[in-house]
Structures are given as C-alpha cells and as structure tokens.
Amino acid sequence: MRAVFRLLLLSCLALPAFAAEINVFAAASLSDALKEIAQKYEPASGNKLLFNFAASSVLARQIKEGAPADLFFSADEAKVSDLAQADRVVSSSRRSLLGNTLVIVVPRDSTLTIAGPADLARPGVTKLALAEPQTVPAGIYARSYLEKLELWPQVAAKVIPTENVRACLAAVESGNVSAGIVYKTDALIAKGARIAFEVPAEAGPRISYPVVLVKASRQPEAAADLLAYLLSPDAQVVFEKYGFIILH
C-alpha cells in the first residue's frame, strides 16, 4: 500500500505545476513569435501562457466586454487608446514595442508582375485581399497607404475583406485572390505566397504594436513579469527573427 502511495505521489510531482496562468490577448500576426517566446518563458517562470490570437479590433472588444485578459498586445495604437479611455487597461504599463512594414503578396505560382502599388489597379488583378479595412489594423494600414497614393477608388471594388491578416494571407495562398496586402512578418513565413512588392518603411504607414496590462487582470503580478520579459533582449531576439522592428 505504501509503495502504491509513493508511486502516486511521484506521479503527481512529475506533472507540471504552473504558478499562474496568464491570458494573453494578442494580434494574429504575433502568433508565431509569441509561441516561440512561450517555449522559453514558461519553464523559466513557472507560469503558463494562454493565448487568444485574433484581430486587434476583436480582442479590444472582448476586453471591453469583460473577457478574462491579463495582457493585451495590439497591432495598432488606436485599439489600446480606446481601451485606455474606457479605463480597461493600466495606462502606465503601456509600451510601444514593435514595428512592421507592409508587403504586396501573390500566390507562389502566380505569373503576375507587380512593380508597385499602382499595378493593383490593373485588369490582371481581379481580387485583392485585405484584412477588414474598416476595423482590423492590417486592413486599416493597407487602406491608408492606398488612399495616400490616391489608388483606393481604383481598387476598392476589387477588395475581398478578411477576418484578420492571417486570413488575408490564407486567401492569397489558396489562389482565391490575385493579390493581398499583409505585414512583412506574415509574408516571411508563408509557404504558398511570395512577396511581389515591399512597401518602403518611409513610404508606408507607421505601424506600431503596443503592449499593455489589463486593469481587470486576475494575475497582475504574473502579467507584469511577462511584460518585463517581452521587453527583454531575449524576447526581442525572437521578435527580430520573425521580421519585427524593435521600437522600445
């Protein structure tokens, strides 16, 4: 009987015991980088990261409605500012950590030649995928860029809106659209799409990813520890590996 009890005790000790479970609400474009960061952070901290990846607009709405989030990593500043006005985040913890750039992508086997954004108005581009240009940061950035170039009226009828930037990339990879505009970081991991044109950072919109603690967090100390780690050189190496620009 003692031997059985000893075995049960040892088996329990062998199971991972997490000090805290941290609910991380993060933009879909951050998923690969954050998953890799979690592989190092979890065993070192003893905490477990529970990710909710989606469009920043969707995540901000969920937080505003009371979803159990501890940390919010947005793909644009506006969503965090909106939550700050609603008193849903700890404004003093806000850090604008990452930058990104836009690229035009086409299916890998496409014969389209796109030398610049003006080519999106050509007849050869029949469908243009964008993350939802009214609410999703990647789509808002893309529309802003096209409007700046006075191309939006010429391409608006071709636009196929998608749920988020990863869905936009998937539409291109499937061949269901002629082209799409996504973040460079997403294009770099694409298997079924290729970069046809890269928007120079100085010509495109300023893309900023802020990270902030959520005021209603159930694990405020653990969330603050995670935020500190995301600002650390170890995490920034991973972000740079995936093509992000370090702003902090």
pLDDT tens profile 108-151: 999 999 999 999 999 999 999 999 999 999 999 999 999 999 99
Instruction: Reduce the DSSP state of residue 154 to 3 states and report it.
Output: helix
Q: How many helices (H) and strands (E) does the chain have?
A: 10, 11
Domains in the chain (CATH in brackets) are 2-99+208-246 (3.40.190.10), 102-198 (3.40.190.10)
Determine which helix (DSSP H) or strand (DSSP E) holds 43, and give its type and residue range: helix 31-45
pTM: 0.88
Of 2 and 109, the structure prediction assigns the larger pLDDT to 109
Q: For residue range 187-228, list pLDDT tens digits in order.
A: 999 999 999 999 999 999 999 999 999 999 999 999 999 999
Per-residue DSSP letter, 184: H
Instruction: Reduce the DSSP state of residue 166 to 3 states and report it.
Output: helix
Determine which helix (DSSP H) or strand (DSSP E) holds 77, and give its type and residue range: helix 77-85
- Taking the C-alpha atoms of residue 80 and residue 86, their distance in angstroms, rounded to an integer, is 10
